[in-house]
Structure 1
Amino acid sequence: MTTARTTRALRSAGAVLAGLAALAACGAPGGTVAAGKPSFEGRGPITYVAGKDATGSVQPVLDRWNKLHPTEKVTFIQLPTDPDAQRQQMIQNAQTKSDAYTVLSLDAVWTSEFAAHRWIDRLPQDRFPLARMLGPIVETGKYRGGLYAVPASSDGGMLYYRSDLLKRAGIERPPATWAEMTADCAKVRKLPEAKGMSCYVGQFQKYEGLTVNFAEAVNSAGGVITDPVGAPHVDTPQAKRGLDFLVHSFRSGIIPKDALTYQEEDGRRVFQAGKVIFERQWPYMYALAAKKDGSSKVAGRFAVAPLPGLKGPGASSLGGHNLALSASAGNKATAIDFMKFFSSEQLQRFTLAHAPAAPTYKALYRDPTLVKKYPYLPTLKKSILHAVPRPRVYQYGDVTAAIQREAYAAMTGSKNSEQALKDLQKALQLPAAE
């Protein structure tokens, strides 16, 4: 999941976007697909619907498309930054069978819900270069064997840490376990320059970010939230060990109480201000924290590593956004061509250079030029390949709300971990997506 992207607005888009001209112009005439398969018909104006673009990266891309397709222009509809609000507005549009929304930017975990309700169309797999993408990312766009969404970006959580302070404390490598992270924090806090610093923060406000952080804790302790067919398994010793890590960390002060109000941007600002040693965060923060224009006090003083777990490296939740086609939309031939353009390797290379996201294509992770410029890419690839999807269930809205409610209750002390997980197990007895 990516719920915040606050990189600087693009200032040099023109030259790179010019290189996308051929791709943007290569739409299949008439919207036909391979012989013997149904076509997606209709050409004309469409809309692209996504969360608010704080990066300034989307409109220049749409402008390029629109210049080359004057009769098939794309209008950008920006929804709120909060993913729960985005999902609700997309569902409302689908339930009214409105044609106002055409191409939807779905959080990767919403695919099963939207496909099961037939709010989005099954897509022609042969129109997209799925074999060139990382396997776990492609799977987020599938439901019951069919492709319902095309990966446009991915995301994996990483541990950002103050490499300078760990080195001064005599710590040679980043922590691989929660116990190591706690011990490292205690050593670093003894340094005069670390006085008053917090140890660890993530995203713990009662919103989708809490679902992500809870899922990572459970998965990193050897547990699961739901099995492959959607049945819940949270009333287990493994899940309890994961939740206990969060509960005990808040109780002991390893995680500051303020983090109960944190979304992505809150934690980013705290880390960049030099007030925390470790942070769980998405890759978008790397470029911002590395800025040497005075906006970041930790530029040149941090690095990234895989998330720690109970007995070794942990498991990230698999984030990202996929492109889906609203079932009630018109001009679907145009929509398919636009989705192919917007999810292309060439465009992702551009996006990585100007508004960093996690690419979906394998080649971009091994490109020497990109790896030199973005040294976090190898770690990010490992995070994605070992990531665990959030529950792929029919009623995802109910599932994430229940997770947030019970995890928050345990972290704030209104319930103990055992009771919270028993209540969550009961709440998650819902129809499975697959």
Structure 2
Amino acid sequence: MCRSLVLVLVLWGLSLGALPGCRRQQEPTAAAPGKTPLVFKYQPLGDPVAFRELLADFERKNPDVSLTTEALPNSSDVAHQFFLTALEGRADDFDVLVVDVVWVPEFARAGWIADLSAAFPPERMRAEFLPGPVEAVVVGGKTYAVPWYVDVGVLFYRKDLVPGAPRTFAQLQQYARDAMAKDGTLQGYVWQGRQYEGLNCNVFEAIWGHGGNVMNAQGRLELNTEPARAGLTYLRGLITSGISPPGVTSATEEEARRVFQAGRAVFMRNWPYAWEEAQKPDSPIRGKVEMVALPTASGEPGSGTLGGWQLAVNAHVSEPRRRAAERLIAHLTSPEANVMMALHYGRNPPRPAVYKNPELVRQKPDIARLLTLVEHARPRPVTPYYNMLSDVLQSEFSAAVAGLRSPEEVLKQVQRQVDYLAGSEPTQEQAK
């Protein structure tokens, strides 16, 4: 059976209960008299023992709630499509949902997720959480989700092959050339150049690294700029100069990681998960790797793309269930839960104070030292039409890094698409 048909059938099976003519109007699950039923939709984390205990602790502290968990596929695209179908159909058979960092503005504008500002005031969010995640979940001055765990783009380098961490793009290229000259089997720099969302992350980081800001003062996406041209030119130049192999244009995170971990590359852009992989007992590069901020044109520490997941509440559920959902989110995003998620699942905390937790520092020093990097993480454009625009960006950016079209041509086309979507965006009055 072809993959597209399988995906359609999976999505159909997941979302059948959420279609307007099929959705369940009753409470989501049977509960004992006097208890509020609560359904949590999330993607599996791995060994469920520690997470089950965290949920059991919530039930002990909230005896008036009957909690049910329902797992989703790990694929972000499949999860997004499920929620898109279910929430558009006003499904009310689940309460708490896990949302990608780029979905929050889209779901908030559509009225699909609840305003949580009363339980999680924006000012308190800014005081307790990292700035990047807060920027992603506070939309129009209101809190629509709470950060659960975060991710950030980082640079890995072989400390046995180069004199130190490159601070500038020029240093990275020179260090790579020197190492490649000594060992002709090495590749200089591997990153994510395939036509998918990971490429967007790499391009945004290159733009930021050249002093750009993809959002203008009016909150509109602006990409036809000199820093954007410089960023795309830099990425294409890595390939034409031979520092990055031609195959980087088909690489995702894992393709890049496998090359780097096999000891065949000097530098790699990836997410922090690759650190633990590099330190495994059978890893050829164990003890030979460092993880640092991305370089920039100026030499200032670069900003990695913000990744991660947030917890939101279905706007279509009843008031009692919404209040219970807020309590569950507060429990799952507490400092204690942040520590558990880091220790057992390697998930990076969204609260800066947690990085100084003694147990975390002792057991997971690699996560503890990420604080400076996650503090400087920047979200992708916080706009309700980002998911519609993402495919356009992927296609156009891919054409630029592959050399099919010039950065100038690509960015003009991208800006036309951006302006079209922005022009069709309703005003606040129309959206009410």
Q: What TM-score does the superposition give when structure 1 sets the normalisation length? A: 0.81
Given that 1:103 and 1:324 are in contact with CA atoms closer than 8 Å, whether structure 2 keeps it comes out as yes
Q: Partner of 2:7 in structure 1?
A: none
**Aligned to 2:89, which of 85, 93, 96?**
96
Question: Does structure 1 residue 389 correspond to structure 2 residue 379?
Answer: yes
**Take 1:152 and 1:361, find their aligned partners in 2: how far apart are those partners?**
9
Question: Does structure 1 residue 357 correspond to structure 2 residue 347?
Answer: yes
Question: 1:149: Cα distance to partner?
Answer: 0.3
**Aligned to 2:159, which of 133, 157, 163?**
163
1:79 is paired with a residue of what secondary structure?
Answer: coil
Q: Partner of 1:47 in structure 2?
A: 39
1:140 is paired with a residue of what secondary structure?
Answer: helix
Matches within 5 A, 1:371-382: 371-377=361-367, 380-382=370-372
1:300 is matched by which residue type in structure 2?
G
1:255 is matched by which residue type in structure 2?
S
2:175 is matched by which residue type in structure 1?
D
Q: Partner of 1:75 in structure 2?
A: 69
Please list the CA deviations of residues 30-62 of structure 1 after superposition, one character each: whole Å capped at 9, or x if unmatched. xxxxxxxxxxxx953333333453565775346
Given that 2:194 and 2:250 are in contact with CA atoms closer than 8 Å, whether structure 1 keeps it comes out as yes
**Take 1:368 and 1:338, find their aligned partners in 2: how far apart are those partners?**
26
Question: 1:228: Cα distance to partner?
Answer: 4.6
**Take 2:387 and 2:224, find their aligned partners in 1: how far apart are those partners?**
20
Cα RMSD after superposing both structures: 2.5
**Take 1:254 and 1:213, find their aligned partners in 2: how far apart are those partners?**
16
Q: Partner of 1:190 in structure 2?
A: 181
Question: 1:103: Cα distance to partner?
Answer: 1.4
Q: 1:66 to 1:389 in 2, by over 3 A?
A: closer
2:236 is matched by which residue type in structure 1?
V
Q: 1:50 to 1:217 in 2, by over 3 A?
A: farther
**Aligned to 2:390, which of 393, 400, 408?**
400
Question: Does structure 1 residue 116 correspond to structure 2 residue 109?
Answer: yes
The structure, 1 or 2, with the larger RCO (C-alpha pairs under 8 Å, 6+ apart) is 1
**Take 1:267 and 1:50, find their aligned partners in 2: how far apart are those partners?**
28
Given that 1:50 and 1:86 are in contact with CA atoms closer than 8 Å, whether structure 2 keeps it comes out as no
**Aligned to 1:335, which of 325, 346, 354?**
325
Q: Which shows bigger deviation, 257-266 or 208-217? A: 257-266
1:263 is matched by which residue type in structure 2?
T
Q: Partner of 2:232 in structure 1?
A: 243
**Take 1:374 and 1:177, find their aligned partners in 2: how far apart are those partners?**
29
Q: 1:247 to 1:206 in 2, by over 3 A?
A: same
**Take 1:184 and 1:266, find their aligned partners in 2: how far apart are those partners?**
22
2:295 is matched by which residue type in structure 1?
P
Structure 1 unaligned residues grouped into runs of 5+ = 1-41
Question: 1:92: Cα distance to partner?
Answer: 1.2
Structure 2 unaligned residues grouped into runs of 5+ = 1-33
Question: 1:191: Cα distance to partner?
Answer: 3.4
Q: Which shows bigger deviation, 44-53 or 205-214? A: 44-53
Given that 2:179 and 2:186 are in contact with CA atoms closer than 8 Å, whether structure 1 keeps it comes out as no
Q: 1:101 to 1:62 in 2, by over 3 A?
A: farther
Q: What TM-score does the superposition give when structure 2 sets the normalisation length? A: 0.81
**Aligned to 2:313, which of 319, 325, 328?**
325
Question: 1:215: Cα distance to partner?
Answer: 0.8
Q: Partner of 1:314 in structure 2?
A: 302
**Take 1:90 and 1:77, find their aligned partners in 2: how far apart are those partners?**
13
Given that 2:72 and 2:79 are in contact with CA atoms closer than 8 Å, whether structure 1 keeps it comes out as no
1:398 is matched by which residue type in structure 2?
M
1:190 is paired with a residue of what secondary structure?
Answer: helix
**Take 1:381 and 1:337, find their aligned partners in 2: how far apart are those partners?**
27
**Take 2:131 and 2:185, find their aligned partners in 1: how far apart are those partners?**
43
Given that 1:318 and 1:387 are in contact with CA atoms closer than 8 Å, whether structure 2 keeps it comes out as yes
Given that 1:402 and 1:428 are in contact with CA atoms closer than 8 Å, whether structure 2 keeps it comes out as no
Matches within 5 A, 1:11-26: none
Question: 1:150: Cα distance to partner?
Answer: 0.5
1:279 is paired with a residue of what secondary structure?
Answer: strand
Q: Partner of 1:180 in structure 2?
A: 171
**Take 1:245 and 1:394, find their aligned partners in 2: how far apart are those partners?**
29
1:53 is matched by which residue type in structure 2?
L
2:66 is paired with a residue of what secondary structure?
Answer: coil
Please list the CA deviations of residues 335-375 of structure 1 after superposition, one character each: whole Å capped at 9, or x if unmatched. 11111111111011011112212211222223355335444
1:380 is matched by which residue type in structure 2?
L
Question: Does structure 1 residue 214 correspond to structure 2 residue 214?
Answer: no
Q: Partner of 2:145 in structure 1?
A: 149
Please list the CA deviations of residues 213-255 of structure 1 after superposition, one character each: whole Å capped at 9, or x if unmatched. 1111111111122225332321111110001111111222322
1:106 is paired with a residue of what secondary structure?
Answer: strand
Number of residue-to-residue matches in the alignment: 383
**Take 2:98 and 2:355, find their aligned partners in 1: how far apart are those partners?**
23
Q: Partner of 1:305 in structure 2?
A: 292
**Aligned to 1:135, which of 127, 131, 136?**
131
